[in-house]
Structure 1
Protein backbone atom coordinates (compact mmCIF):
# COMPACT_ATOMS: atom_id res chain seq x y z
CA UNK A 1 0.00 0.00 0.00
CA UNK A 2 2.82 2.42 0.94
CA UNK A 3 4.58 1.70 -2.37
CA UNK A 4 1.38 2.41 -4.30
CA UNK A 5 0.85 5.70 -2.42
CA UNK A 6 4.43 6.77 -3.15
CA UNK A 7 3.95 5.98 -6.84
CA UNK A 8 0.76 8.06 -6.94
CA UNK A 9 2.53 11.01 -5.31
CA UNK A 10 5.38 10.79 -7.85
CA UNK A 11 2.89 10.78 -10.72
CA UNK A 12 1.12 13.81 -9.27
CA UNK A 13 4.41 15.68 -8.96
CA UNK A 14 5.36 14.82 -12.54
CA UNK A 15 2.37 16.81 -13.78
CA UNK A 16 3.22 19.80 -11.60
CA UNK A 17 6.86 19.75 -12.69
CA UNK A 18 5.87 19.59 -16.35
CA UNK A 19 3.56 22.61 -16.06
CA UNK A 20 6.19 24.52 -14.07
CA UNK A 21 8.82 23.78 -16.73
CA UNK A 22 6.50 24.95 -19.50
CA UNK A 23 5.80 28.19 -17.63
CA UNK A 24 9.49 28.85 -17.03
CA UNK A 25 10.44 28.12 -20.63
CA UNK A 26 7.67 30.28 -22.06
CA UNK A 27 5.88 27.36 -23.66
CA UNK A 28 2.96 28.36 -21.43
CA UNK A 29 2.04 31.85 -20.31
CA UNK A 30 -0.84 33.73 -18.68
CA UNK A 31 -4.08 33.26 -20.57
CA UNK A 32 -2.98 30.04 -22.29
CA UNK A 33 -5.13 26.95 -22.08
CA UNK A 34 -3.53 23.69 -20.95
CA UNK A 35 -3.79 20.54 -23.03
CA UNK A 36 -6.71 18.32 -22.07
CA UNK A 37 -6.39 15.83 -19.23
CA UNK A 38 -6.31 13.01 -21.79
CA UNK A 39 -3.53 14.64 -23.83
CA UNK A 40 -1.45 15.44 -20.74
CA UNK A 41 -1.88 11.90 -19.44
CA UNK A 42 -0.84 10.39 -22.77
CA UNK A 43 2.12 12.75 -23.16
CA UNK A 44 3.45 12.03 -19.68
CA UNK A 45 2.54 8.35 -19.58
CA UNK A 46 0.32 8.80 -16.52
CA UNK A 47 -3.22 8.02 -15.51
CA UNK A 48 -5.84 10.69 -15.96
CA UNK A 49 -6.60 10.59 -12.23
CA UNK A 50 -3.06 11.83 -11.48
CA UNK A 51 -3.42 14.63 -14.01
CA UNK A 52 -6.83 15.60 -12.65
CA UNK A 53 -5.51 15.72 -9.07
CA UNK A 54 -2.58 17.93 -10.08
CA UNK A 55 -4.88 20.35 -11.90
CA UNK A 56 -7.15 20.55 -8.87
CA UNK A 57 -4.21 21.49 -6.66
CA UNK A 58 -3.08 24.17 -9.09
CA UNK A 59 -6.61 25.55 -9.20
CA UNK A 60 -6.75 25.75 -5.39
CA UNK A 61 -3.36 27.49 -5.47
CA UNK A 62 -4.88 30.08 -7.78
CA UNK A 63 -2.65 29.33 -10.77
CA UNK A 64 -5.38 27.86 -12.95
CA UNK A 65 -9.02 28.53 -13.71
CA UNK A 66 -11.02 25.55 -14.91
CA UNK A 67 -14.28 25.41 -16.84
CA UNK A 68 -16.31 22.33 -17.61
CA UNK A 69 -18.10 21.53 -20.84
CA UNK A 70 -16.80 21.89 -24.36
CA UNK A 71 -15.74 24.72 -26.62
CA UNK A 72 -12.94 27.32 -26.55
CA UNK A 73 -13.53 28.30 -22.90
CA UNK A 74 -13.49 24.75 -21.52
CA UNK A 75 -10.52 23.19 -19.74
CA UNK A 76 -7.81 24.75 -17.58
CA UNK A 77 -6.41 28.24 -18.22
CA UNK A 78 -3.32 29.83 -16.65
CA UNK A 79 -4.14 32.88 -14.53
CA UNK A 80 -1.90 35.92 -14.76
CA UNK A 81 -1.73 36.98 -11.10
CA UNK A 82 -2.64 34.18 -8.68
CA UNK A 83 -2.66 36.47 -5.64
CA UNK A 84 -5.72 34.84 -4.10
CA UNK A 85 -4.00 31.47 -4.14
CA UNK A 86 -0.90 32.81 -2.40
CA UNK A 87 -3.01 34.52 0.24
CA UNK A 88 -5.02 31.34 0.83
CA UNK A 89 -1.90 29.22 1.29
CA UNK A 90 -0.44 31.68 3.79
CA UNK A 91 -3.68 31.81 5.75
CA UNK A 92 -3.85 28.01 5.92
CA UNK A 93 -0.22 27.67 6.96
CA UNK A 94 -0.61 30.15 9.79
CA UNK A 95 -3.95 28.66 10.86
CA UNK A 96 -2.28 25.24 11.03
CA UNK A 97 0.64 26.83 12.89
CA UNK A 98 2.98 25.87 10.09
CA UNK A 99 4.49 29.32 10.68
CA UNK A 100 5.07 30.54 14.22
CA UNK A 101 3.19 33.73 15.07
CA UNK A 102 6.42 35.49 16.08
CA UNK A 103 7.77 34.92 12.56
CA UNK A 104 4.51 36.09 11.01
CA UNK A 105 4.60 39.35 12.98
CA UNK A 106 8.27 39.89 12.05
CA UNK A 107 7.55 39.22 8.38
CA UNK A 108 4.66 41.63 8.41
CA UNK A 109 7.05 44.29 9.72
CA UNK A 110 9.50 43.61 6.88
CA UNK A 111 6.73 43.85 4.29
CA UNK A 112 5.27 47.03 5.77
CA UNK A 113 8.72 48.63 5.71
CA UNK A 114 9.14 47.71 2.04
CA UNK A 115 5.69 49.12 1.22
CA UNK A 116 6.37 52.47 2.90
CA UNK A 117 9.86 52.76 1.41
CA UNK A 118 8.51 52.11 -2.08
CA UNK A 119 5.67 54.60 -1.71
CA UNK A 120 7.96 57.33 -0.36
CA UNK A 121 10.07 57.21 -3.53
CA UNK A 122 7.14 56.99 -5.96
CA UNK A 123 6.13 60.44 -7.24
CA UNK A 124 3.02 58.92 -8.85
CA UNK A 125 1.70 57.35 -5.64
CA UNK A 126 -2.07 57.44 -5.23
CA UNK A 127 -3.25 57.25 -1.63
CA UNK A 128 -6.84 58.30 -2.22
CA UNK A 129 -8.22 54.90 -1.19
CA UNK A 130 -6.02 54.95 1.92
CA UNK A 131 -7.30 58.40 2.86
CA UNK A 132 -10.86 57.14 2.45
CA UNK A 133 -10.24 54.35 4.95
CA UNK A 134 -8.63 56.81 7.36
CA UNK A 135 -11.80 58.90 7.31
CA UNK A 136 -13.85 55.81 8.13
CA UNK A 137 -11.53 55.01 11.03
CA UNK A 138 -12.00 58.48 12.48
CA UNK A 139 -15.62 57.63 13.35
CA UNK A 140 -16.09 57.69 17.11
CA UNK A 141 -18.62 54.86 17.41
CA UNK A 142 -16.57 51.97 16.01
CA UNK A 143 -16.37 48.74 17.98
CA UNK A 144 -12.91 47.18 18.44
CA UNK A 145 -13.78 44.59 15.77
CA UNK A 146 -14.89 47.25 13.29
CA UNK A 147 -11.87 49.42 13.99
CA UNK A 148 -9.39 46.55 13.58
CA UNK A 149 -11.09 45.36 10.39
CA UNK A 150 -10.60 48.83 8.94
CA UNK A 151 -7.03 48.79 10.23
CA UNK A 152 -6.35 45.60 8.28
CA UNK A 153 -7.99 47.14 5.22
CA UNK A 154 -5.82 50.25 5.58
CA UNK A 155 -2.56 48.34 5.67
CA UNK A 156 -3.61 46.20 2.71
CA UNK A 157 -4.59 49.33 0.76
CA UNK A 158 -1.10 50.70 1.35
CA UNK A 159 0.40 47.46 0.01
CA UNK A 160 -1.81 47.67 -3.07
CA UNK A 161 -0.89 51.31 -3.61
CA UNK A 162 2.80 50.32 -3.65
CA UNK A 163 2.17 48.47 -6.91
CA UNK A 164 3.98 45.31 -5.78
CA UNK A 165 1.46 42.52 -6.31
CA UNK A 166 3.55 39.90 -4.49
CA UNK A 167 3.79 42.03 -1.35
CA UNK A 168 0.07 42.81 -1.57
CA UNK A 169 -0.79 39.11 -1.80
CA UNK A 170 1.47 38.25 1.13
CA UNK A 171 0.05 41.09 3.19
CA UNK A 172 -3.48 39.88 2.50
CA UNK A 173 -2.62 36.37 3.66
CA UNK A 174 -0.69 37.42 6.75
CA UNK A 175 -3.09 40.10 7.92
CA UNK A 176 -6.12 37.83 7.56
CA UNK A 177 -4.25 35.00 9.26
CA UNK A 178 -3.43 36.96 12.44
CA UNK A 179 -6.68 38.93 12.58
CA UNK A 180 -8.06 36.74 15.36
CA UNK A 181 -4.89 37.21 17.41
CA UNK A 182 -5.03 40.99 16.96
CA UNK A 183 -8.68 41.09 18.03
CA UNK A 184 -7.99 38.88 21.04
CA UNK A 185 -5.10 41.19 21.93
CA UNK A 186 -7.46 44.16 21.98
CA UNK A 187 -9.20 42.58 24.98
CA UNK A 188 -5.95 42.85 26.95
CA UNK A 189 -5.74 46.62 26.43
CA UNK A 190 -7.13 48.39 29.50
CA UNK A 191 -8.05 51.70 27.83
CA UNK A 192 -9.28 50.92 24.32
CA UNK A 193 -10.42 54.50 23.67
CA UNK A 194 -6.94 55.80 24.39
CA UNK A 195 -5.46 53.10 22.16
CA UNK A 196 -7.72 53.96 19.20
CA UNK A 197 -6.85 57.65 19.58
CA UNK A 198 -3.18 56.73 19.52
CA UNK A 199 -3.55 54.44 16.51
CA UNK A 200 -5.51 57.08 14.59
CA UNK A 201 -2.78 59.65 15.24
CA UNK A 202 -0.08 57.18 14.17
CA UNK A 203 -1.93 56.29 10.97
CA UNK A 204 -2.32 59.94 10.00
CA UNK A 205 1.34 60.66 10.78
CA UNK A 206 2.50 57.72 8.65
CA UNK A 207 0.32 58.63 5.66
CA UNK A 208 1.27 62.32 5.88
CA UNK A 209 4.96 61.37 5.87
CA UNK A 210 4.48 59.03 2.90
CA UNK A 211 2.72 61.75 0.92
CA UNK A 212 5.64 64.09 1.61
CA UNK A 213 8.08 61.40 0.49
CA UNK A 214 9.62 61.54 3.96
CA UNK A 215 11.63 58.40 4.70
CA UNK A 216 10.84 58.82 8.40
CA UNK A 217 7.54 57.13 7.52
CA UNK A 218 9.43 53.85 7.83
CA UNK A 219 10.40 54.41 11.46
CA UNK A 220 6.87 55.63 12.20
CA UNK A 221 5.45 52.43 10.72
CA UNK A 222 7.89 50.30 12.70
CA UNK A 223 6.95 52.03 15.95
CA UNK A 224 3.26 51.69 15.07
CA UNK A 225 3.45 47.92 14.55
CA UNK A 226 5.74 47.12 17.47
CA UNK A 227 3.83 49.45 19.80
CA UNK A 228 0.48 47.78 19.23
CA UNK A 229 2.03 44.29 19.29
CA UNK A 230 3.55 44.99 22.70
CA UNK A 231 0.34 46.53 24.10
CA UNK A 232 -1.79 43.63 22.81
CA UNK A 233 0.59 40.92 23.97
CA UNK A 234 1.66 39.91 20.46
CA UNK A 235 5.27 39.81 21.55
CA UNK A 236 7.75 36.95 20.96
CA UNK A 237 6.61 33.89 22.86
CA UNK A 238 3.13 35.23 23.56
CA UNK A 239 1.56 32.31 21.67
Structure 2
Protein backbone atom coordinates (compact mmCIF):
# COMPACT_ATOMS: atom_id res chain seq x y z
CA UNK A 1 0.00 0.00 0.00
CA UNK A 2 1.36 3.44 -0.91
CA UNK A 3 1.87 5.65 2.11
CA UNK A 4 -0.72 8.27 1.13
CA UNK A 5 -3.27 5.43 1.09
CA UNK A 6 -2.49 4.82 4.76
CA UNK A 7 -3.47 8.41 5.45
CA UNK A 8 -6.70 8.03 3.46
CA UNK A 9 -7.50 4.82 5.29
CA UNK A 10 -6.93 6.46 8.67
CA UNK A 11 -9.15 9.43 7.83
CA UNK A 12 -11.90 7.11 6.57
CA UNK A 13 -11.76 5.12 9.80
CA UNK A 14 -11.98 8.34 11.83
CA UNK A 15 -15.07 9.41 9.90
CA UNK A 16 -16.73 6.01 10.20
CA UNK A 17 -15.96 5.87 13.92
CA UNK A 18 -17.44 9.30 14.55
CA UNK A 19 -14.10 10.78 15.65
CA UNK A 20 -14.28 13.18 12.71
CA UNK A 21 -17.47 14.87 11.56
CA UNK A 22 -18.60 17.68 9.27
CA UNK A 23 -16.87 20.87 10.27
CA UNK A 24 -14.17 18.99 12.18
CA UNK A 25 -10.49 19.63 11.54
CA UNK A 26 -7.80 17.10 10.73
CA UNK A 27 -4.66 17.15 12.86
CA UNK A 28 -1.86 19.41 11.63
CA UNK A 29 0.17 18.00 8.76
CA UNK A 30 3.26 17.37 10.89
CA UNK A 31 1.24 15.81 13.72
CA UNK A 32 -0.59 13.46 11.35
CA UNK A 33 2.64 12.45 9.62
CA UNK A 34 4.30 11.61 12.93
CA UNK A 35 1.21 9.81 14.23
CA UNK A 36 0.98 7.55 11.18
CA UNK A 37 4.70 7.19 10.58
CA UNK A 38 4.57 8.62 7.05
CA UNK A 39 6.13 11.61 5.33
CA UNK A 40 4.48 15.02 5.21
CA UNK A 41 4.49 14.64 1.43
CA UNK A 42 2.22 11.60 1.79
CA UNK A 43 -0.13 13.57 4.04
CA UNK A 44 -0.28 16.41 1.50
CA UNK A 45 -1.01 13.97 -1.33
CA UNK A 46 -3.85 12.37 0.65
CA UNK A 47 -5.35 15.78 1.45
CA UNK A 48 -5.17 16.84 -2.21
CA UNK A 49 -7.07 13.67 -3.15
CA UNK A 50 -9.70 14.34 -0.49
CA UNK A 51 -10.07 17.94 -1.69
CA UNK A 52 -10.69 16.71 -5.23
CA UNK A 53 -13.29 14.29 -3.85
CA UNK A 54 -15.10 17.09 -2.01
CA UNK A 55 -14.43 15.56 1.41
CA UNK A 56 -12.16 18.24 2.90
CA UNK A 57 -11.22 21.87 2.35
CA UNK A 58 -7.63 22.82 3.07
CA UNK A 59 -6.94 26.36 4.27
CA UNK A 60 -3.51 27.90 4.70
CA UNK A 61 -2.19 30.44 7.17
CA UNK A 62 -3.87 31.13 10.50
CA UNK A 63 -7.32 32.09 11.65
CA UNK A 64 -10.75 30.42 11.56
CA UNK A 65 -10.35 29.21 7.97
CA UNK A 66 -6.93 27.64 8.50
CA UNK A 67 -6.36 23.91 8.62
CA UNK A 68 -8.04 21.02 6.84
CA UNK A 69 -11.78 20.96 7.50
CA UNK A 70 -14.19 18.10 6.76
CA UNK A 71 -16.89 19.20 4.32
CA UNK A 72 -19.52 17.45 2.18
CA UNK A 73 -19.49 18.40 -1.50
CA UNK A 74 -20.04 15.18 -3.46
CA UNK A 75 -21.76 16.89 -6.40
CA UNK A 76 -18.68 18.82 -7.49
CA UNK A 77 -16.40 15.81 -7.24
CA UNK A 78 -18.75 13.46 -9.08
CA UNK A 79 -19.48 16.13 -11.68
CA UNK A 80 -15.80 16.69 -12.38
CA UNK A 81 -15.17 12.97 -12.81
CA UNK A 82 -18.17 12.52 -15.09
CA UNK A 83 -17.22 15.58 -17.16
CA UNK A 84 -13.78 14.14 -17.83
CA UNK A 85 -15.23 10.78 -18.84
CA UNK A 86 -17.69 12.54 -21.15
CA UNK A 87 -14.70 14.33 -22.71
CA UNK A 88 -13.04 10.98 -23.42
CA UNK A 89 -16.27 9.86 -25.12
CA UNK A 90 -16.38 6.89 -22.76
CA UNK A 91 -19.71 8.11 -21.36
CA UNK A 92 -22.03 9.21 -24.20
CA UNK A 93 -24.03 12.35 -23.47
CA UNK A 94 -27.19 10.59 -24.65
CA UNK A 95 -26.71 7.97 -21.93
CA UNK A 96 -26.26 10.67 -19.29
CA UNK A 97 -29.47 12.33 -20.48
CA UNK A 98 -31.34 9.02 -20.18
CA UNK A 99 -29.98 8.59 -16.67
CA UNK A 100 -31.05 12.11 -15.84
CA UNK A 101 -34.59 11.33 -17.04
CA UNK A 102 -34.71 8.25 -14.79
CA UNK A 103 -33.47 10.10 -11.71
CA UNK A 104 -35.58 13.23 -12.17
CA UNK A 105 -38.72 11.24 -12.93
CA UNK A 106 -38.17 9.27 -9.72
CA UNK A 107 -37.47 12.44 -7.73
CA UNK A 108 -40.51 14.48 -8.83
CA UNK A 109 -42.80 11.48 -8.37
CA UNK A 110 -41.74 11.42 -4.71
CA UNK A 111 -41.33 15.13 -4.06
CA UNK A 112 -42.99 16.37 -0.89
CA UNK A 113 -45.50 19.15 -1.68
CA UNK A 114 -44.67 20.72 1.68
CA UNK A 115 -40.94 20.91 1.06
CA UNK A 116 -39.35 24.38 1.37
CA UNK A 117 -37.36 23.51 -1.77
CA UNK A 118 -40.54 23.97 -3.82
CA UNK A 119 -40.84 27.59 -2.68
CA UNK A 120 -37.28 28.07 -3.91
CA UNK A 121 -38.27 26.43 -7.22
CA UNK A 122 -41.18 28.85 -7.61
CA UNK A 123 -38.91 31.83 -6.93
CA UNK A 124 -36.46 30.57 -9.54
CA UNK A 125 -39.28 30.39 -12.09
CA UNK A 126 -40.08 34.04 -11.39
CA UNK A 127 -36.42 34.89 -12.03
CA UNK A 128 -36.57 32.95 -15.31
CA UNK A 129 -39.46 35.13 -16.44
CA UNK A 130 -37.17 38.16 -16.18
CA UNK A 131 -34.11 36.46 -17.65
CA UNK A 132 -32.93 37.85 -20.99
CA UNK A 133 -29.57 36.08 -21.21
CA UNK A 134 -29.35 32.46 -22.34
CA UNK A 135 -26.57 31.58 -19.90
CA UNK A 136 -28.49 33.09 -17.01
CA UNK A 137 -31.62 31.17 -17.98
CA UNK A 138 -29.70 27.88 -18.15
CA UNK A 139 -28.10 28.52 -14.75
CA UNK A 140 -31.53 29.16 -13.23
CA UNK A 141 -32.83 26.03 -14.98
CA UNK A 142 -30.14 23.93 -13.29
CA UNK A 143 -31.05 25.35 -9.87
CA UNK A 144 -34.77 24.76 -10.52
CA UNK A 145 -34.32 21.09 -11.33
CA UNK A 146 -32.01 20.57 -8.36
CA UNK A 147 -34.62 22.18 -6.08
CA UNK A 148 -37.20 19.67 -7.33
CA UNK A 149 -34.78 16.84 -6.55
CA UNK A 150 -34.16 18.21 -3.08
CA UNK A 151 -37.91 18.11 -2.43
CA UNK A 152 -37.75 14.31 -2.74
CA UNK A 153 -35.55 14.21 0.36
CA UNK A 154 -32.97 11.75 -1.00
CA UNK A 155 -29.44 13.12 -0.60
CA UNK A 156 -27.86 10.52 -2.90
CA UNK A 157 -30.29 11.23 -5.76
CA UNK A 158 -29.77 14.98 -5.31
CA UNK A 159 -25.98 14.58 -5.46
CA UNK A 160 -26.15 12.32 -8.50
CA UNK A 161 -28.51 14.67 -10.32
CA UNK A 162 -26.27 17.61 -9.53
CA UNK A 163 -23.23 15.78 -10.83
CA UNK A 164 -24.99 14.73 -14.03
CA UNK A 165 -26.08 18.30 -14.70
CA UNK A 166 -22.58 19.63 -14.00
CA UNK A 167 -21.02 17.03 -16.28
CA UNK A 168 -23.00 18.17 -19.33
CA UNK A 169 -23.69 21.81 -18.47
CA UNK A 170 -21.23 23.12 -21.08
CA UNK A 171 -22.66 20.75 -23.67
CA UNK A 172 -26.20 21.93 -22.91
CA UNK A 173 -25.14 25.53 -23.41
CA UNK A 174 -23.60 24.74 -26.79
CA UNK A 175 -26.79 22.98 -27.90
CA UNK A 176 -28.68 26.26 -27.79
CA UNK A 177 -26.93 27.24 -31.04
CA UNK A 178 -28.92 24.46 -32.76
CA UNK A 179 -32.28 25.87 -31.70
CA UNK A 180 -34.20 27.77 -34.40
CA UNK A 181 -35.75 30.26 -31.96
CA UNK A 182 -34.30 30.46 -28.44
CA UNK A 183 -36.97 32.88 -27.19
CA UNK A 184 -39.74 30.49 -28.23
CA UNK A 185 -37.91 27.56 -26.65
CA UNK A 186 -37.36 29.49 -23.42
CA UNK A 187 -41.05 30.40 -23.23
CA UNK A 188 -42.02 26.75 -23.75
CA UNK A 189 -39.56 25.58 -21.10
CA UNK A 190 -40.95 28.09 -18.59
CA UNK A 191 -44.48 26.85 -19.22
CA UNK A 192 -43.35 23.24 -18.79
CA UNK A 193 -41.53 24.13 -15.57
CA UNK A 194 -44.71 25.63 -14.13
CA UNK A 195 -46.74 22.58 -15.13
CA UNK A 196 -44.24 20.25 -13.44
CA UNK A 197 -44.24 22.33 -10.25
CA UNK A 198 -48.05 22.51 -10.25
CA UNK A 199 -48.33 18.72 -10.53
CA UNK A 200 -45.99 18.28 -7.57
CA UNK A 201 -47.89 20.82 -5.47
CA UNK A 202 -51.11 18.96 -6.32
CA UNK A 203 -49.46 15.75 -5.08
CA UNK A 204 -49.77 14.14 -8.53
CA UNK A 205 -46.42 12.39 -8.73
CA UNK A 206 -47.30 10.31 -11.78
CA UNK A 207 -48.19 13.40 -13.81
CA UNK A 208 -45.08 15.23 -12.60
CA UNK A 209 -42.86 12.29 -13.61
CA UNK A 210 -44.32 12.18 -17.13
CA UNK A 211 -44.10 15.95 -17.52
CA UNK A 212 -40.46 16.11 -16.46
CA UNK A 213 -39.47 13.22 -18.74
CA UNK A 214 -41.20 14.86 -21.73
CA UNK A 215 -39.63 18.19 -20.76
CA UNK A 216 -36.06 16.88 -20.70
CA UNK A 217 -36.35 14.68 -23.77
CA UNK A 218 -38.16 17.39 -25.72
CA UNK A 219 -35.37 19.92 -25.20
CA UNK A 220 -32.62 17.57 -26.32
CA UNK A 221 -34.58 16.33 -29.31
CA UNK A 222 -35.29 19.89 -30.42
CA UNK A 223 -31.60 20.72 -30.06
CA UNK A 224 -30.64 17.71 -32.18
CA UNK A 225 -29.25 15.25 -29.62
CA UNK A 226 -29.57 11.81 -31.18
CA UNK A 227 -28.55 8.39 -30.03
CA UNK A 228 -25.12 8.76 -31.63
CA UNK A 229 -24.11 11.87 -29.65
Which of 170, 179, 192 matches 2:169? 179
Distance 1:34 1:230, change over 3 A: same
TM-aligned CA deviation for residue 128 of structure 1: 1.7
Question: 1:34 offset after TM fit, Å?
Answer: 2.0
Shift of 1:71: 7.9
> For the aligned residues, what is the CA RMSD?
2.7
Query: How far does residue 209 in structure 1 lie from its aligned partner after superposition?
Result: 0.3
Q: Distance in 2 between matches of 1:192 and 1:86?
A: 30
Secondary structure at the aligned position of 1:138 is classed as helix
TM-superposed CA distance for 1:226, in Å, is 1.0
Give me the whole-angstrom Cα distance separating, in 2, the residues matched to 1:31 and 1:193.
44
Q: Structure 1 stretches of 5 or more lacking a match?
A: 1-6
Does structure 1 residue 135 correspond to structure 2 residue 126? Answer: yes
Aligned 1:200-211 pairs, distance under 5 A: 200-211=190-201
Shift in Å at residue 72 of structure 1?
Answer: 8.3
The equivalent residue for 1:116 is 108
Aligned to 1:26: 18
Decide whether the 8 Å contact of 2:25 with 2:67 is kept in 1.
Answer: yes
1:1-239 mapped onto 2 (5 Å cutoff): 10-69=2-61, 74-80=66-72, 82-95=74-87, 97=89, 99-119=91-111, 122-126=112-116, 127-139=118-130, 142-215=132-205, 216-238=207-229
Give the Å deviation of 1:114: 2.6
**1:183 positional shift:** 2.4
SS of 2:114's equivalent in the other structure is coil
Contact kept, 8 Å, 1:61 with 1:88, in 2: the verdict is no
- Answer whether contact 1:115 1:162 (CA < 8 A) is retained: yes
- Deviation at residue 37 of structure 1 after TM alignment: 2.4
Q: Report if aligned partners of 1:61, 1:89 keep a CA contact under 8 Å in 2.
A: no
Between Structure 1 and Structure 2, how many residues are aligned? 227
1:66 aligned counterpart, secondary structure = strand
Contact 2:25–2:69 under 8 Å retained in 1: yes
Distance 1:79 1:151 in 2: 26
Relative distance call for 1:180 and 1:82 in structure 2 (3 A) is: closer
